[in-house]
Structure 1
Amino acid sequence: MRVIDIIRQAEANRAPRFTIELLPPLKGDGTQGVFSAIDTLVEYGPAYINVTFQREDEKLVEREDGLWERRVTRRRPGTVGISAAIMQRYGIEAVPHLICGGLSRYDIEDALIDMDFLGIENVLALRGDSRRTERRFAPHPDGHAYADGLVRQIAAMNEGEFVDGEVENCHKTHFCIGVAGYPEKHSEAPNLATDIDNLRRKIDAGAEYIVTQMCFDNQRIFEFIDRCRAAGITVPIVPGLKPFTTKAQLTVLPQTFHVDLPEELVAAVA
Structure 2
Amino acid sequence: MKVIDHIRKAEAEKRTAFSYEILPPLRGKNIDRLFKNIDALQEFNPIYINITTHRSETVFKETPDGLFKKVTVRSRPGTIAIAAAIKSRYNVNVVPHMLCSGFTKEETEYALIDLQYLGIFDLLVLRGDKAKHEKQFTPSVDGHSHATELQQQINDFNHGILCDGSKTEAYDHKFSYGVAGYPEKHEEAPNMDSDIHFMKQKVDNGAEYIVTQMFFDNTKYFDFVDRCRKEGINVPIIPGLKPITFKSQLTVLPKIFKSDIPQELASELLKCKTDEEAAVVGTEWTIKQSRELIKAGVPNIHYYTLMATQSIKQIATELF
TM-score range, shorter chain: over 0.9
Q: Does 1:86 align with 2:86?
A: yes
Partner of 1:69: 69
Partner of 1:254: 254
Once the 2 structures are TM-superposed, how far is the Cα of residue 167 of structure 1 from its aligned partner?
Answer: 3.3
Once the 2 structures are TM-superposed, how far is the Cα of residue 196 of structure 1 from its aligned partner?
Answer: 0.5
SS of the residue corresponding to residue 235 of structure 1 reads: coil
- Residues 98, 31 of structure 1: CA spacing in aligned structure 2 closer, same or farther, 3 A cutoff? same
Once the 2 structures are TM-superposed, how far is the Cα of residue 172 of structure 1 from its aligned partner?
Answer: 5.2
- Residues 112, 168 of structure 1: CA spacing in aligned structure 2 closer, same or farther, 3 A cutoff? closer
Deviations 1:60-110 (A, max 9, x none): 111233211111100000011101111111111110001001111111010
| Cα contact 2:97–2:126 (8 A) shared by 1 | yes
Partner of 1:230: 230
Runs of 4+ in 1 over 4 A off after TM superposition: none
Quote the Cα distance in structure 1 between the aligned partners of 2:135 and 2:185. 19
Quote the Cα distance in structure 1 between the aligned partners of 2:141 and 2:204. 24
Q: Does 1:135 align with 2:138?
A: no
User: 1:168-183 alignment to 2 at 5 Å?
Assistant: 168-171=168-171, 173-183=173-183
| Cα contact 1:101–1:129 (8 A) shared by 2 | yes
SS of the residue corresponding to residue 268 of structure 1 reads: helix
Q: Which one has a larger percent helix, Structure 1 or Structure 2? A: 2
Q: Does 1:216 align with 2:228?
A: no
Give the partner amino acid of 2:65: D
SS of the residue corresponding to residue 86 of structure 1 reads: helix
| Cα contact 1:156–1:162 (8 A) shared by 2 | yes
Quote the Cα distance in structure 1 between the aligned partners of 2:205 and 2:143. 16
Once the 2 structures are TM-superposed, how far is the Cα of residue 269 of structure 1 from its aligned partner?
Answer: 2.5
TM-score by length of 2: 0.82
Quote the Cα distance in structure 2 between the aligned partners of 1:185 and 1:168. 39
Give the partner amino acid of 1:119: G
Gaps of 5+ in 2: 271-320
Quote the Cα distance in structure 1 between the aligned partners of 2:202 and 2:109. 18
User: 1:1-270 alignment to 2 at 5 Å?
Assistant: 1-171=1-171, 173-270=173-270
SS of the residue corresponding to residue 19 of structure 1 reads: strand
Quote the Cα distance in structure 2 between the aligned partners of 1:227 and 1:214. 18
Gaps of 5+ in 1: none
Which structure has more relative contact order (CA 8 Å, sep 6+)? It is 2
Q: How many residues align?
A: 270
Once the 2 structures are TM-superposed, how far is the Cα of residue 265 of structure 1 from its aligned partner?
Answer: 1.2
| Cα contact 1:159–1:172 (8 A) shared by 2 | no
Once the 2 structures are TM-superposed, how far is the Cα of residue 158 of structure 1 from its aligned partner?
Answer: 1.4
| Cα contact 2:162–2:168 (8 A) shared by 1 | no
SS of the residue corresponding to residue 167 of structure 2 reads: coil
SS of the residue corresponding to residue 97 of structure 1 reads: strand
Once the 2 structures are TM-superposed, how far is the Cα of residue 25 of structure 1 from its aligned partner?
Answer: 0.8
Give the partner amino acid of 1:36: K
Deviations 1:6-38 (A, max 9, x none): 100001111211111100011111110110111
Quote the Cα distance in structure 2 between the aligned partners of 1:182 and 1:232. 17
Quote the Cα distance in structure 1 between the aligned partners of 2:5 and 2:154. 18
Deviations 1:185-216 (A, max 9, x none): 00000100000011111111111110000011
CA RMSD of aligned residues (A): 1.1
Quote the Cα distance in structure 2 between the aligned partners of 1:182 and 1:255. 15
| Cα contact 1:159–1:173 (8 A) shared by 2 | no
Quote the Cα distance in structure 2 between the aligned partners of 1:85 and 1:173. 20
- Residues 143, 173 of structure 1: CA spacing in aligned structure 2 closer, same or farther, 3 A cutoff? farther
Quote the Cα distance in structure 2 between the aligned partners of 1:101 and 1:173. 26
Task: Calculate percent identity across the aligned residue pairs.
Answer: 49
| Cα contact 1:21–1:52 (8 A) shared by 2 | yes
Quote the Cα distance in structure 2 between the aligned partners of 1:4 and 1:129. 25
- Residues 43, 195 of structure 1: CA spacing in aligned structure 2 closer, same or farther, 3 A cutoff? same
Quote the Cα distance in structure 2 between the aligned partners of 1:160 and 1:9. 29
Deviations 1:190-243 (A, max 9, x none): 100000011111111111110000011101101100100111111110001001
